Amino acid sequence: MNDAPPRFRASRALIRFLRTETVGGTALLIAAAIALLWANSPWSESYLHLAEITLGSDDWTIFGHSLHLQLSLADWAKDGLLAIFFFVAGVELKRELVVGELSTLRGAALPVLCAVGGVVVPAIIAFGIARDNPYIGSAWAVPIATDIAFALGILSLIGSRLPSGARVFLLGLAVVDDLIAIAVIAVLFAGDLKIGWLAVAAVGCALYWFGQHRRITTPLYYVPIAIVVWVAMLQSGVHATIAGVALGLLTRVKQDPGELESPGERLEHKIQPVSALICVPIFAFFASGVAVNGDVFRELFTDELALGIMIGLFFGKIIGITGASVLAVKLRLAERPEGLDNRDILALSVLGAIGFTVSLLVAELALPEGEADLAKAAVLLTSVAASVIGALLLLRRGRVHEAG
């Protein structure tokens, strides 16, 4: 029996509702659509002006060094708000690895192998097609990531008649996929590393871990530490979002005896609605506003880099995920979730070609402005195509499963 006050129960229900993948994916799609419409309207200059408004100050110093915290709104979204998204991803990954579907070898094998296939094949295809492009040394990473919120949102809307193993498989795949993408961002887009700032970040992470170990619960302890780690990571040359991942992975996800929820669960309940409905949509709003006209469409199908991204993201994900699944099952390295067959995995692999959040971030990090806009247009077009085709395939598979 639930003795919680009605208001408290309603609040918890609302938070759980806001946390659903459907809501997060819908909010992201709406934000991206508004940005595209605005950027291609007669008022496009106002959109660009909004993105370039700066907040913060470069006057703040520590040990005689400027903190360089005067960032545009677009950069605050990319470096600040996405750190919150990556914190949630880090907690989710930790939970899956410790107590979730990836905590056993049997449960983890297929999603992990398929995620690796879904990263390697798109990268190879993109590099092969655009090998003469001067930016391909880092741009090969654009098509390697799957958008968790959007992919799971479509599955929750369309795939209700599929076996429950479909969601487990896609969640595991997307979580591991994002972990690989995060590692690539940390290695590939590190600037001139500043060891002193990295040491500050490491000390902050150690203090965060100590608080978790000692069961400290007050936000007055953790919030200042999180801010220091984020600032230190920003100054260090490593992308600031890695601070979110690091702290997420250090968060305790196992319940103590008598504890209703672990810290990881509590933080997910509180922070994921903020991430899903504010952080990611705002980033998508600033990242998706690219000009789309006849010239851009012609470039998309003639420019080697754009072609590499589109073909790598769409066909590379499908080939990599489905191929890894077939090989893993044939070689008895893994088992498919109960009730799923190769055609179900194929349909789910199309959802893996939805790039959005991390792919847009990598495009911004890897390419100069003009090339980045074309790459982002390629990601958006491919993601929309994958969403529609994936939804149709899932509907078809759902009818087959329902028919028995």
The whole-number pLDDT of residue 118 equals 95
Question: Which residues are 182's β-sheet partners?
Answer: none
- Containing 154, the helix (H) or strand (E) segment is helix 148-158
pLDDT in tens, 357-380: 889 989 988 899 889 999 999 999
The whole-number pLDDT of residue 327 equals 95
Contact 348/169 with Cβ under 8 angstroms? Answer: yes
In 3D space, the residue among 179, 233, 234, 225 whose CA is nearest the CA of residue 205 turns out to be 225
Alpha carbon 278 to chain centroid, angstroms: 14
Tokens of 167: 């969601």
CB proximity list for 187: less than 8 A, separation 6 or greater: none
Q: Which amino acid type is present at position 228? A: V
CB proximity list for 1: less than 8 A, separation 6 or greater: none
Residue 141 has pLDDT above 80, yes or no: yes
User: Which among 145-154, 249-258, 300-309, 367-376 has the top mean pLDDT?
Assistant: 300-309
* pTM for the whole structure: 0.81
Contact 373/291 with Cβ under 8 angstroms? Answer: yes
Residue 92 has pLDDT above 90, yes or no: no
Secondary structure of residue 189 in the 3-state scheme: coil
pLDDT in tens, 265-300: 888 888 888 888 899 899 889 988 888 888 888 899
